[in-house]
Amino acid sequence: MTLDEIRSGYLFLVDKPLEWTSFDVVRKIRGITRAKIGHGGTLDPLADGLMLVATGAFTKKLTGLQELSKEYTGIIYLGATRPSFDKETAIDQTWDISEIGIEKIMDAAKSFVGIIEQVPPVYSAIKVDGKRSYDLARAGKAIELKKRQQEIFAFEITKIEGPLLSFRVHCSKGTYIRSLANDFGKFLGVGAYLDQLTRTSIGNYKLENAWEMELLIEKLNMLRNAESIS
């Protein structure tokens, strides 16, 4: 890998750190390489995991990459809700979940496999009348987003520890896992929100093969320094 190769066309598998935006990742790589750059699917700041970052001629492949299915692991908190469907906002309501047994939770997960309809979180980047939905939500504006049809190929609860439900999900592009968590709670007659999320694969691209951001930055800076010396 050289900077010329990166500028010509390269595909990076990147492990996005928690609290970084997807744009933070793109901006950092662009700043070091000075390459044309884009990515194959946004991850929320409160999620970590796999991002596909393309440079140069490879940016033409981004449309196809964005169509690929995604896999995630994470944790759903059962028995409370937050307006953002994740930990960005404060808990606004709680429920007693003592009567909800393991079998009921497992059966609920099975009911979400297949074609589903979900409403995106109002705290999302969807545009409403030219403005980002999350900006309107943070300003206290009332927002009504339309339902979207998605496909869940697999959804399983892998561990239950009190209100914390560990899960794995394989879904079509554009699926909001925050909305899935919220809808899961509704299905059980209580509330739920997304406590933690990691994207583990995009199509056949796997998180285990991705660069940790710190190591990638170190590598790219080495290439830039070598180029400046030569």
Q: Are residues 61 and 13 in the same domain?
A: yes
Q: Which two tokens stand for residue 62?
A: 């981004």
Same domain, 164 and 58: no
* DSSP structural state of residue 218: H
What average pLDDT does range 19-44 have in this prediction? 92
Same domain? For 7 and 98 the reply is: no
* Residues 9 and 58 sit within 8 Å (Cβ to Cβ): yes
- Side chain identity at residue 126, one-letter code: I
pLDDT surpassing 70 at residue 139: no
Same domain? For 52 and 105 the reply is no
pLDDT tens-digit readout, 179-194:
999 999 999 999 999 9
- Report the pLDDT averaged over residues 93-113: 95
My answer on whether 37 and 120 are in the same domain is no
What is the overall mean pLDDT for the chain? 91
Residue 212: is its pLDDT beyond 80?
yes
Number of domains within the chain: 2
Q: Is 173 found in the same domain as 74?
A: yes
DSSP 3-state of 57: helix
Does residue 44 have an active-site annotation?
yes
Q: How many CA atoms, within 13 angstroms, populate the side-chain half-sphere of residue 130?
A: 0
Task: Say yes or no to pLDDT of 162 above 70.
Answer: yes
Is the Cβ–Cβ distance between 45 and 25 less than 8 Å?
A: no
- Helices and strands (H, E) in the chain, number of each type: 7, 14
Same domain for 11 and 57: yes
- Report the range out of 81-85, 174-178, 193-197 with the highest average pLDDT: 193-197
**For range 123-148, the mean pLDDT:** 70
Instruction: Return d(Cα 127, Cα 11) in angstroms, integer.
Output: 28
**120 falls in which pLDDT band (50, 70, 90)?**
confident
Residue 142's pLDDT band (boundaries 50, 70, 90)? low
Based on the fold, state whether residues 93 and 184 are members of the same structural domain: yes
CA angle at 209 for the pair 200 and 223, rounded to the nearest 5°: 130
Q: Are residues 212 and 194 in the same domain?
A: no
Report, as an integer, the average pLDDT of 46-58: 95
**Both 160 and 77 in a single domain?**
yes
Active-site pick, 4, 24, 44, 48: 44
Residues 134 and 39 in one domain: no
Looking at the structure, do residues 30 and 115 belong to the same domain, yes or no?
no
**How many Cβ atoms sit within 10 Å of the Cβ of residue 5?**
13
Domain that holds residue 119: 70-202
pLDDT confidence tier of residue 148, bands split at 50, 70 and 90: confident
Indicate which CATH number applies to the domain containing 208.
3.30.2350.10
